[in-house]
Amino acid sequence: MSITSSNLPSKAEVESFARGFSCHLGKPLGKGSFGKVYQIHPRIQGPSGSFALKVGDIDSLTIERDIFRHIQQNGNYCKYLVQGLGYLETPSFGALKLSTLSNAQNLERYYLASNRTITVSDYKRISKAALKALQYLHRRGIAHKDLKPNNIIVSPGRSGVRKALLIDLGHAQNQFAHESRPNPSNPLYSSPQAIVDLAQSDPFKADIYALGAVLWEIIAKEPLFVFPEEESCPQNPSEDYLLSNEGKELALSCLGGRRSLKSQEQLDMLGKNYGLDDLVFEEAESWDQHPYYKEFAIETKDAVTPFLQRLIAIEEKERQSAAEALEIFPALEKTTDRLERTKRQVFTQLQVQETARGGFLSQILPSCELKDIVFAAVCCLLLSLCTQALQEA
Ligand SMILES: Nc1ncnc2c1ncn2[C@@H]1O[C@H](COP(=O)(O)OP(=O)(O)O)[C@@H](O)[C@H]1O
Ligand SMILES: [Mg+2]
């Protein structure tokens, strides 16, 4: 549902919600499809600082409220995920009280709508926070399902981002709930599998892909899908487009790894099926050729690319889980921005993971040729031992 002035609460209604939470109303923080978000301040100033108040459509807000209830059942909370702190309702509108960050800005505004470039330490902080929040949700069987730049907020400080928070559980879903939507909420951040068949796709792996697409976008300052004209991106993709069967086939062949099938003609057709013109998909291999990426820092590129590629892996089984992707951070954290060392540690870490996945034999025998040589050597040794034993007998 898109917001119009008739389905938005009046200022007096918003103020009365704020009073209901013993707060007074502050500045607007943002708006979305459900209504608006405001800052609110406790009437009696305590150590808790300010909060956010999400006010609007009851149906969307109660879905979000129920998700908060579900994930908070066991008491502990995740400092990288927005917290639901209360819910109020009138016959026409609902209001959620949420945790927030000081001077919060979403990634869309902070990086994409500005000429600010991301630093390595901000990049690490944001990636880690988002992965921790996803790990927390995924462990509780909840997929976020709407990861995009305006659903991550940051608190800017003098020397960069101080904190980052994953927000907006308006599309989040329990893994066992029936998928009610025909299409993903935003094709820019949808995994190939979610585009082709949302109900059959792995919702957790789709979250990881979406995060990879967001991280890519804040480095490259353009999305993985590129729209030559801004207006060709539908305002509300979930309502504006629906893939035909032919379109799904094509999406699968274009995005599903069989890249040889991709031609401009096919891309045009895919674009048509999305209701988009001239859709371009950037292949993972071409990322490091991207002009912005080249500038980002030559050393950083080597540290960042393998990490990002594991998030945006086309095949679900090759895409890492939040927990696996987080394993990279202890290595990154030991150094600040000493990139040469960081790079070495990251590579060592990744190689260790690679080997661990290959099973016991491939850990001790890294290549096939070496395996054969060792096998032959063991046979020779056994043979000579047998011969010796026979001679002695
Ligand atoms: N807890 C919060 N703290 C600060 N800003 C917020 C918070 N929640 C939402 N916002 C701002 O409001 C915008 C819309 O809120 P969001 O929850 O994402 O709504 P929607 O479901 O419509 O996308 C966000 O992009 C963000 O800029
Ligand atoms: Mg949002």
Q: Looking at ligand 1, which atom is closest to the CA of residue 106?
A: 27
CA dist list (Å): 266 to 127, 246, 320: 33, 11, 29
Give the CATH number of domain 5-100. 3.30.200.20
For the Cβ of 169 lying below 6 angstroms from any atom of ligand 1, the answer is no
Torsion of CA 179, 182, 184, 186, to 10 degrees: -140
For the range 176-185, what are the long-range contacts, defined as Cβ-Cβ under 8 Å and sequence gap of 24 or more?
Answer: 176/141, 181/238, 182/242, 183/237, 183/238, 183/241, 183/242, 183/243, 184/145, 184/237, 184/238, 185/145, 185/146, 185/237, 185/238
**pLDDT score for 286:** 52
Give the CATH number of domain 105-336. 1.10.510.10
> What is residue 43's DSSP assignment?
S
> What is residue 275's DSSP assignment?
T
Lookup: tokens for 86: 């209360």
Show me where the domains of the chain are located. Answer: 5-100, 105-336, 339-392
Of 264, 141, 238, 247, the closest CA to residue 192 belongs to 247
Residue 226 dihedral angles phi and psi, to the nearest 5°: -110, 130
Say if residues 84 and 65 touch (Cβ distance below 8 Å).
Answer: yes
For the Cβ of 303 lying below 6 angstroms from any atom of ligand 1, the answer is no
Say if residues 71 and 90 touch (Cβ distance below 8 Å).
Answer: no
For the Cβ of 64 lying below 6 angstroms from any atom of ligand 1, the answer is no
| 33 CA → ligand 2 middle, Å | 8
Say if residues 132 and 78 touch (Cβ distance below 8 Å).
Answer: yes
Say if residues 282 and 226 touch (Cβ distance below 8 Å).
Answer: yes
Lookup: tokens for 192: 């190939």
**pLDDT score for 247:** 53
| 57 CA → ligand 1 middle, Å | 14
For the Cβ of 107 lying below 6 angstroms from any atom of ligand 1, the answer is no
**pLDDT score for 194:** 80
Q: Please give the chain's pLDDT, 393 residues, in tens.
A: 444 555 789 999 999 999 999 999 999 999 887 889 999 999 887 666 899 999 999 988 998 999 999 888 867 889 999 999 999 999 999 999 999 999 999 999 999 999 887 877 788 899 999 999 999 999 999 999 999 999 999 999 988 899 999 999 999 988 777 776 666 667 678 887 787 777 888 999 999 999 998 988 887 777 765 543 444 444 444 433 444 555 555 555 545 433 334 556 655 665 665 555 555 555 545 545 544 444 444 445 555 666 777 788 777 888 899 999 998 777 655 544 443 444 344 333 333 333 333 332 233 333 334 455 566 677 667 887 877 877 777
Lookup: tokens for 84: 């639901």
Of 3, 15, 4, 170, the closest CA to residue 90 belongs to 15
* Calpha distance 242→349 (Å, rounded): 42
> What is residue 150's DSSP assignment?
G
Say if residues 314 and 255 touch (Cβ distance below 8 Å).
Answer: yes
Read out DSSP for 298-329? HHHHHHHHHHHHHHS-SSGGGSPPHHHHHTTH
Q: Looking at ligand 1, which atom is closest to the CA of residue 109?
A: 27
Whole-model pTM over 0.85:
no
Q: Which ligand is nearest to the CA of 150?
A: 1
* Calpha distance 250→260 (Å, rounded): 12
For the Cβ of 29 lying below 6 angstroms from any atom of ligand 1, the answer is yes
Of 36, 92, 209, 287, the closest CA to residue 198 belongs to 209
